[in-house]
């Protein structure tokens, strides 16, 4: 009898110890993650696909520009458009060797990226995968190098062609090599979709959702001078917004209603906005490609023009409803003038559509408005971009235009 009592007491004591350990572990403060960099995923066009044989037993080294810094980081990898599971045999991160440039890394900062403790990862078809935390402090507005080794090429490529950043492909598993002097270069990203950092508890994320104007067509390759980059730099210069990250979720040719170069904005809203880390606000600049493609190949009726405007407004409303359900503010950006575009050759009816939609955006439906139309138009020809901001094609701003856009956004809308 005494032995049984002693066993019960002993087991109870062990239980108390285990319970105490669990409570001690759960009592530790959770890490507060903030989105620092992102790229929307799509199926690369034929001209932007990597040769599968090039990707057999190959290392892909890619450089991303962070917005907010932190004491630790984690990487998000994507097989969103893969048709088979994707096995990555090793993934490393490092700071770049700034003086050397190109593919060179600071070897002392090289870190193995793990996934549930393993140094390799298999990402299911259609899925994204978040890494374990990596103990590598990173500074705001700094670059991060991500190196991935493929044993076999992906079945169905996933990437972001509009990187405006040079990536490097080399034979073999050289993820930790100090540099890749014989690498092939491509100005695209593949498989990398995000980087989060550990920030202060008040840290949050702003998503910029858009088309090629947000993606940065006309910006400087490796220059990080898209308008979301300018916004991120401004936010880092202000104490009240320094803990906030900016994620560029633009896709060239993107539309609200139909797929183009990448899925339509409503189809990707969950992945590119709602599923991002610690999102507080999203700036929506979408619609010019919907307007332009309506009459690019042929004229349409007045009823078709009116119907398109109604569907665009309904799409904005869908975004508002879905974002508000997650406590996210939605800032509407007016559509820039594009009357000088030879690609869309818009007429008076297209301009009337743009004016009607911009009036709807300004009418108070959104939680705030950024009036890019007013900022970027030529006062003498309001249906056209100002020559000071035009990249030369009548549709996309150049670096000066992107600078003006990034500087015009009231930071108070995003806090």
- 335-391: pLDDT as tens digits: 999 999 999 999 999 999 999 999 999 999 999 999 999 999 999 999 999 999 999
3 alpha-carbon distance from chain centroid: 64
- 151-199: pLDDT as tens digits: 999 999 999 999 999 999 999 999 999 999 999 999 999 999 999 999 9
Nearest to 42 by CA among 320, 311, 250, 337: 250
Res. 101 pLDDT band, cuts 50 70 90 = confident
Cα–Cα dist 274/281, whole Å? 10
- 393-411: pLDDT as tens digits: 999 999 999 999 999 999 9
Res. 21 pLDDT band, cuts 50 70 90 = very low
132 conformational bin, left if phi > 0, alpha if psi -120 to 50, beta if neither: beta
How many CB atoms within 10 Å of residue 391? 18
- Please report the pLDDT score of residue 260 as a whole number: 87
- 123-149: pLDDT as tens digits: 999 999 999 999 999 999 999 999 999
pTM of the model: 0.93
Listing from the earlier edge strand, what are the strands of the sheet with 329-333? 244-250, 204-210, 279-285, 329-333, 368-370
Tokens of 132: 């374990």
- 189-216: pLDDT as tens digits: 999 999 999 998 899 999 999 999 999 9
């Amino acid at each position: 009898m005494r032995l049984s009592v002693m066993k019960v007491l002993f087991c109870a004591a062990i239980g108390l110890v285990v319970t105490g350990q669990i409570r001690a572990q759960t009592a530790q403060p959770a890490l507060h993650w903030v989105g620092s960099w992102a790229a929307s995923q799509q199926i690369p066009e034929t001209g932007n696909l990597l040769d599968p044989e090039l990707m057999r037993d190959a290392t892909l080294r890619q450089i991303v520009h962070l917005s907010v810094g932190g004491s630790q980081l984690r990487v998000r990898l994507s097989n969103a458009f893969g048709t088979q599971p994707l096995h990555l045999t090793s993934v490393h991160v490092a700071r770049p060797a700034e003086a050397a440039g190109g593919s060179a890394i600071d070897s002392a900062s090289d870190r193995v990226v793990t996934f549930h403790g393993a140094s390799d990862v298999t990402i299911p078809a259609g899925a994204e995968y978040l890494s374990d935390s990596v103990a590598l402090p990173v500074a705001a507005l700094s670059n991060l190098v991500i190196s991935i080794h493929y044993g076999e090429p992906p079945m169905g490529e996933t990437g972001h062609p509009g990187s405006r950043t040079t990536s490097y492909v080399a034979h073999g598993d050289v993820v930790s090599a100090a540099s890749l002097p014989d690498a092939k270069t491509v100005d695209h990203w593949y498989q990398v979709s995000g980087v989060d950092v550990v920030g202060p508890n008040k840290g949050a994320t702003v998503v910029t959702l858009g088309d090629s104007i947000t993606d940065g067509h006309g910006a400087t390759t490796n220059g990080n001078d898209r308008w979301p980059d300018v916004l991120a730099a401004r936010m880092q210069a202000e104490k009240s917004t320094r803990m906030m990250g900016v994620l560029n979720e633009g896709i060239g040719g993107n539309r609200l209603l139909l797929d183009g170069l990448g899925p339509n904005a409503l189809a990707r809203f969950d992945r590119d906005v709602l599923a991002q880390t610690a999102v507080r606000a999203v700036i929506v600049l979408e619609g010019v490609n919907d307007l332009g493609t309506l009459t690019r190949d042929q004229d349409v009726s007045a009823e078709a023009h009116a119907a398109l405007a109604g569907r665009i407004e309904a799409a904005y409303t869908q975004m508002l409803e879905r974002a508000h359900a997650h406590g996210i503010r939605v800032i509407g950006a007016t559509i820039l003038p594009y009357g000088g575009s030879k690609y869309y050759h818009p007429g008076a009816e297209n301009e009337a559509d743009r004016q009607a939609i911009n009036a709807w955006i300004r009418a108070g439906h959104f939680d705030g408005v950024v009036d890019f139309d007013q900022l970027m138009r030529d006062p003498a020809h309001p249906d056209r971009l100002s020559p000071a901001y035009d990249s030369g094609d009548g549709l996309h701003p150049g670096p000066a235009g992107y600078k003006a856009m990034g500087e015009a956004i009231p930071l108070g809308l995003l806090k």
